[in-house]
Amino acid sequence: MKQGNKINYTTGLFPGSVISLFIILQLIAFGLKAQGEKKADIRLNFELKDSMNICKAMVTSEGKPVKEVDIHFYVKRLFSLLPIGKAVKTDDNGESNTIFPLDLPGDKNGNILVIAKIEEDENYGNAEAQAEIKWGTLSNPENDHWANRSLSASREKAPTYLIVASNLIIMVIWGTIFFVFLQVFRIRKESSLIKKNK
Amino acid sequence: MENTQQQTTAHPAATGHQSEIIRQELLAPIGKYSPLNRLWIGFLSVIVLWGIAIYARQCIWGLGTTAMRNYVSWGLYISTFVFFIGISHSGTLVSAILRITNKEWRRPITRSAELLTWVSLLFGGMMPIIDMGRPERIPNLILFGRLQSPLVWDIICIGTYFTGSTIFLYLPMIPDIAICRDRLSGNASRFRKWIYRKLSLGWKDTAANWHKLEKTMKIMTIIIMPIAVSVHTVVGYIFAMTLRPGWNSTVFGPYFVAGALYSGSAAVVLVMVAFRKMYHLEKYITLKQFNYMGQLVLALTIIYAYFNVNEYAVPAYKMESAEGFLLKELFQGRYATIFWTLQFGTVLFPAFILAFPKGRTPLFASIACIIIVIGAWVKRYIIVIPTLLHPFMPIQKVPVTWAEYFPNWVEWSITIAALAGIFLVITLFAKIFPIISVWEVEEGQEFERKKKMVDAMIEKENAQQLQPQSN
């Protein structure tokens, strides 16, 4: 190998070393952070007071109540979680309360799934608890016209007028197109017959 | 069979010295590639290949490689889809409407208009598939699609329009392909010979052949118009039937049809200018065609401007909450410059140019039509993006940056590649087939000749009748 083509290994390794060192330091920092986070437990209690649905979240860590931690309350909906009010901080007893609306649609038995969360807390990280309670309004699929034909129903329940009208239009248009195709093939057939006769 | 042979008479227009000149001139560009042509085709091919590579990358890594997020899921791709589908109305307007109304001046421009329709539909139809991110799921739209959904109507309408446009482009080409087969096969490559042989369907120029062709063309001319209108109406419905501020409009169907005709007819003028210049077709695409097309574009621009007033003035009068917020953004907010430039710069200004006879000459008409076409594309962007950024219910727990959108290099690469694809197909088409319908021009000249003969005879008779009276 010629002298001029020698690779400078020291320079070549330098960026790699820096990146590796950076990754190691990041891993150490992450580990230390994870070690610093304590585990929090959330327990949910429900109570009906003065015609109000109150959800209580009790937060403890290592058997002791956790103060001043934000608790987010949600209700599970079809695609995502519906937030109930703003986050509420726990008091000295580790308790956080929120009032739930009375008109939340529940399942066919009136049940809703309540979720309480601690989200990205600097001391406790993330924690979650969920419980089912009969606080929802009854929703009966039969009453929601799911069984009837409508524009908002499933594909099998498309309105009859829509099925008839659309199929009629499709048949007329595509029928004409097929007729045109047929004429084009007849042109070819006629031409080939003339050729044969010649 | 004997009957068929008895009908073996050539089409009246396909004879004579004049026809021979027309054929020589219109078939001249076919199969000939100048260095500039090769450079142009190479340039377009590179862009298309780049776009394919970036699309493959998008398929592998997902739509996260684009700038689209939860707020804007119909970005540049769907804006371009609406624009391309709009351009596809050109063929229907120029060809079908002018055919059915027997406008003689249409003859040299119908082929390019029909081609533009077909190509823009081909690439326009690809854009929603590109936007889907998971192209292997396309069959699900048919297998599990709901008939109640405008998306399913759109698939049906675009599929039908594409089939109809293919036939509509192909039918008047059959006699011309037969001319190419008979006259150009000597020097043509094996591939071109094969194309001419297969696509000419063994055309024999018999009266029976002509009768069938004219009958089918008449049927297609009638049927393609409602199909074309349905396509853009349904594209409008996709927006209008979605609960979003700015789209909740009853005029969206006709508004989209008017917008499509306005941009499509302007695009036809640009194709006319390009082919006239490139293939020296000044003798066929004359100032008369530019004057009439200019008048047509002007009329459509005025109709489109009227729809614009309706589309924005009515909700602006009420300024209903969410709609009002969106309109403020358009009229005074971050989209105000684009919005007002579009209204005055790309609708009223081109109309002003085209209102004067000098504005309908090739140079000024092409300037006006370039402005219209670019404006139509940006307008689609303005219809789609600001509305998506202003939903009725804010999307929760997403980064603030997701509430902003501007297409990134991935979207630009794929979209520009689609545009390059349109140019590439048109360029290659003109190198294989005549870009002006030979037999239609011949027929037009024959018609003109006969008309002049009849006029001369009538004049002569009138003169003879007047002579004894004066005596």
> Is B184 exposed, middle or buried (CB count within 10 Å of its CB: 0-12, 13-18, 19+)?
middle
Helices (H) and strands (E) in chain B, counts: 20, 0
- The string of pLDDT tens digits covering residues B44-62 is 999 999 999 999 999 999 9
Indicate the average pLDDT of chain B: 89
- Best mutation site among B8, B11, B70, B148 for testing chain A: the one with the most A CBs within 10 Å? B148
d(CA B203, CA B223): 24
Residue B394: per-residue pLDDT: 76
pLDDT at B134: 86
pLDDT computed for residue A45 by the predictor: 92
Contacts with B156 from chain A: Cβ below 8 Å: 166, 170
The pLDDT of residue A9 is 43
Question: Shortest CA distance to B193 belongs to which of B24, B31, B32, B34?
Answer: B31
CB-CB under 8 Å, B209 with A190: yes
Of all residues in chain A, the one with the smallest CA distance to B6 is A194
Whole-number percent of chain B with pLDDT over 90? 61
Residue A89, Cβ neighbours under 10 Å: how many? Answer: 10
Confidence of residue A2 (pLDDT cuts 50, 70, 90): very low
Is A26's pLDDT higher than 90?
no
Q: What pLDDT does residue B126 have? A: 93
Q: List C-alpha distances in Å: B376 to B85, B271, B371.
A: 11, 16, 8
Residue A183 touches chain B, beta carbons under 8 Å: yes
Q: At residue B338, what is the residue type?
A: I
Query: Rounded to an integer, what distance in angstroms lies between the CA atom of residue A189 and that of residue B12?
Result: 23
Cα B224–chain centre separation: 13
Q: Which residues does residue A58 pair with via DSSP β-bridges, in sequence order?
A: A43, A95
Exposed e or buried b per residue across B368-406, where buried means at least 16 C-beta atoms within 10 angstroms of its C-beta: bbbbbbebbbbbbbbbbbbbbbbeeeeeeeeeeeebebe
ipTM, 2 dp? 0.86
Q: Which residues of chain A are within 8 Å of residue B153 when distances are taken between CB atoms?
A: 166
DSSP string, B142-210: HHS--TT-HHHHHHHHHHHHHHHHHHHHHGGGHHHHHHHHHHHTTTS-HHHHHHHHHHTTT----HHHH
Torsion over CA: B258, B263, B268, B269 (sign)? positive
Bridge partners of residue A43, in order along the sequence: A58
Asked if A184 reaches chain B (Cβ–Cβ under 8 Å), the answer is: yes
Going A93 to A96 to A99 to A105, the CA torsion angle's sign is: negative
Nearest CA in chain B to A186: B212
Q: In the predicted model, is pLDDT for residue B14 greater than 70?
A: no
Q: Which pLDDT belongs to residue B352?
A: 95
Residue A51: pLDDT band (50, 70, 90) is confident
Q: What is the mean pLDDT of residues A167-178?
A: 95
CATH superfamily of B32-442: Formate dehydrogenase/DMSO reductase domain (1.20.1630.10)
Mean pLDDT of all residues in B166-172: 94
- Using CA atoms, how far apart are residues A66 and A59, in angstroms rounded to an integer? 6
Query: pLDDT for B63-77, tens place per residue?
Result: 999 999 888 989 999
Per-domain residue ranges of chain A: 41-133, 155-197
Instruction: Classify residue B249 by burial, with Cβ atoms within 10 Å: 0-12, 13-18, 19+.
Output: middle
Nearest to A177 among B147, B167, B209 (CB): B167
Please give the pLDDT value at position A15: 60
Q: Are B141 and B87 in contact (CB under 8 A)?
A: no
Top pLDDT among B116 and A31 is at B116
Tens of pLDDT, residue by residue over B202-261, are: 888 888 889 999 999 999 999 999 999 999 999 999 999 988 888 888 899 999 999 999
**Contact between B335 and B383 (Cβ < 8 Å):** no
Instruction: Specify the pLDDT at position A4.
Output: 42
Q: Is the pLDDT of residue A79 over 60?
A: yes
What are the backbone dihedrals phi and psi of residue A23, each rounded to the nearest 5 degrees, phi first? -65, -45
Residue B393 has pLDDT above 70, yes or no: yes
How sure is the predictor about B13, in pLDDT bands with cuts at 50, 70 and 90? low
> What residues of chain B lie within 8 A of the CB of A181, using their CB?
167
Query: For residues B407 and B130, what is the distance between their CA atoms, to the nearest angstrom?
Result: 14
pLDDT at A138: 84
Three-class DSSP category at B244: coil
Q: From B209, which residue of chain A is nearest by alpha-carbon distance?
A: A187
Q: Looking at residues B302-319, what average pLDDT do you find?
A: 91
> Highest mean pLDDT: which of A139-153, B3-17, B404-418?
B404-418
Minimal C-alpha gap between B148 and chain A (Å): 6
Of B147, B148, B212, the CB nearest to A186: B212
User: How far is A184 from B202, CA to CA, in rounded Å?
Assistant: 11
Task: State the Cα–Cα distance between residues B70 and B389, nearest whole angstrom.
Answer: 10
Judged against a pLDDT cut of 70, whether residue A142 lies above it is answered with no
pLDDT tops 50 at residue A10? no
Q: Which fold has domain A41-133?
A: Immunoglobulin-like (2.60.40)
List of residues 6+ apart from B186 with CB closer than 8 A: none
Dihedral sign for Cα atoms in the order B195, B200, B202, B205? negative
Distance from CA of A164 to the nearest CA of B (A): 11
Average pLDDT of the residues in B323-343: 91
Residues 120-179 of A with CB under 8 A from B: 151-155, 158-159, 162-163, 166, 170, 173-174, 176-177, 179
By the CB < 8 Å criterion, does A194 face chain B? yes
For residue A60, what are its two tokens? 């403890």
* Residue ranges of domains in chain B: 32-442
Between B148 and B11, the higher pLDDT residue:
B148
pLDDT for residue B94: 78
Residue A168 CA to residue B310 CA, distance in Å, equals 33
Q: Which of B249, B225, B226, B224 is nearest to B238 (CA)?
A: B249
Side-chain half-sphere of A184: how many Cα atoms within 13 Å?
22
pLDDT of residue A19: 72
Which is nearest to B173 in space by CA: B98, B242, B251, B118?
B118
Span A68-91, average pLDDT: 91
Find the mean pLDDT for residues B179-188.
83
Pick the more confident residue, A192 or B158: B158
The rounded mean pLDDT for chain A is 83
